[in-house]
Amino acid sequence: MEPLLIGVQTTPERDISLEALANEYGLSPSHFQRVFTEAVGESPRAHVERLRLERAAWRLFISDEPIIDIAFDVGFRSPETFSRAFKRKFGKTPSDYRKSMIRRTGEQPEIGPLDQQLGCRLSEVTFLTLKPMNCIGLRRFGPYSDYSNLPPFGPTNQHYPRILERLETRNIAHRKLAITIPYDNPLITPDHLQQADACLQILEEAPADREFRRVDLPGGLYAAIEHRGPYETLIHGYTAVGMRMSNSTRYRLRPAPPLQFFRETSPDGDPMKHLTEIYFPVEKVQ
């Protein structure tokens, strides 16, 4: 089921019918619906609609695009259907949701370079350009709040060591820099349905398959912040970037997932020595 979920998550705006999904999985529509619902916890139709609505909610927050354009782009065939589905999920119309998010970010307190109450140290937000990177990644399903898989190359991690072993046994040149690509908003997406890619950068061509997937990062302009402290406090880094962007007149967020680089891991177990970089894709306001 994992490859199918990845495909739907990547392009939920495409025309996805129950028959088409069942055919991809080689099952009858009724059998597929039963298998999918038991495995995922929601029906195929509910799953696709949720992904579309969550993507729409993010774009309403980060952009001033016309609501009708967002509705069509995420896969709805009419603005009316989109508005009804959106209100059913979020309790607000798309326009009221956008207004509430603007007020919410505007009311956030400022976070300085060092705030002991947060339990971490945050740098100022800067804007920089990242070069494109080619990676091999494993998809992770489950709550972002579960940090049992960290540090990246620790004994409990189930993803990065497997990628590293695969690259080393095949003598594929790589960088031992753990990268995470979170695709969901943990404030909206149910815990057990949150998805992220664990990645390592490759420096040459490498074979991929349905499990160890090729993940290419296009590079470009990013809003960046450094977080030093326990992984449980990473959310404060994301919040700080969001606050900075909500007040920016020069940059705006792009509709693409953020990146998380685990730059340094404490050698002696002191969590305040963990250094993690968070990057949000942005573009200049014309």
Nearest to 80 by CA among 91, 66, 94, 90: 94
Residue 123 CB-density burial (10 A; 0-12 exposed, 13-18 middle, 19+ buried): middle
| Top-ranked range on mean pLDDT: pick from 88-92, 110-114, 235-239 | 88-92
The boundaries of every CATH 1.10.10.60 domain in the chain are: 2-106
User: Residue 200: which of 182, 212, 218 has the closest Cα?
Assistant: 212
Over 60: is that where the pLDDT of 75 sits?
yes
Q: Per mean pLDDT, which range of 4-8, 19-23, 30-34 is the poorest?
A: 4-8
Q: Is 114 a residue whose pLDDT tops 50?
A: no
Q: Mean pLDDT score of the chain, rounded to an integer?
A: 89
CATH of domain 114-284: 3.20.80.10
Residue 147, pLDDT score: 75
Does 123 score more than 90 pLDDT? yes
- Cα separation, 59 vs 254, whole angstroms: 9
pLDDT number for residue 117 = 67
Percent of the chain having pLDDT more than 70?
A: 94
Higher per-residue pLDDT: 246 or 188: 188
What burial class does residue 25 get, using C-beta atoms within 10 Å of its C-beta: 0-12 exposed, 13-18 middle, 19+ buried? middle
pLDDT for residue 55 is more than 70: yes
For residue 190, cis peptide bond before it (omega within 30 degrees of 0): no
Output the CA torsion sign for 182, 220, 9, 48.
positive
At 21, give phi and psi (nearest 5°): -65, -45
Q: What is the mean pLDDT of residues 143-168?
A: 88
Write down the pLDDT at residue 242: 85
pLDDT (tens digit per residue) in 196-255: 999 999 999 998 888 899 999 989 999 999 999 999 999 999 989 988 887 888 998 888
Q: Which pLDDT does position 104 carry in this prediction?
A: 55
| Mean pLDDT score, 140-146 | 89
Torsion of CA 188, 144, 230, 277, to 10 degrees: -80
Confidence (pLDDT) at 68: 95
| Residue range(s) in the chain whose domain bears CATH number 3.20.80.10 | 114-284
Instruction: Enumerate the β-bridge partners of residue 279.
Output: 224, 259
Judged by average pLDDT, the poorest of 20-24, 27-31, 209-213, 238-242 is 20-24
Is the pLDDT confidence value at 107 over 50? no
pLDDT tens digits, 165-185: 999 999 999 999 999 999 998
pLDDT value of position 109: 44
Q: How far apart are CA 1 and CA 25, in angstroms?
A: 8
Give 279 or 193, the one with higher predicted confidence. 279
pLDDT of amino acid 62: 81
CATH of 2-106, one of 3.20.20.80, 3.90.25.10, 3.30.360.10, 1.10.10.60: 1.10.10.60
The conformation of residue 187, written as its DSSP 8-state character, comes to T
**7 burial via Cβ count (<10 Å: 0-12, 13-18, 19+):** middle
Q: Could you tell me which of 265, 243, 272, 270 has the C-alpha nearest to residue 114?
A: 272
Residue 11 has, within 13 A of its CA and on its CB side, a CA count of: 7
3-class DSSP state of 178: strand
DSSP letter string, 131-172: PPEEEEEEEEES-TT--TT-STTSTT-SSHHHHHHHHHHTT-
**The pLDDT of residue 120:** 93
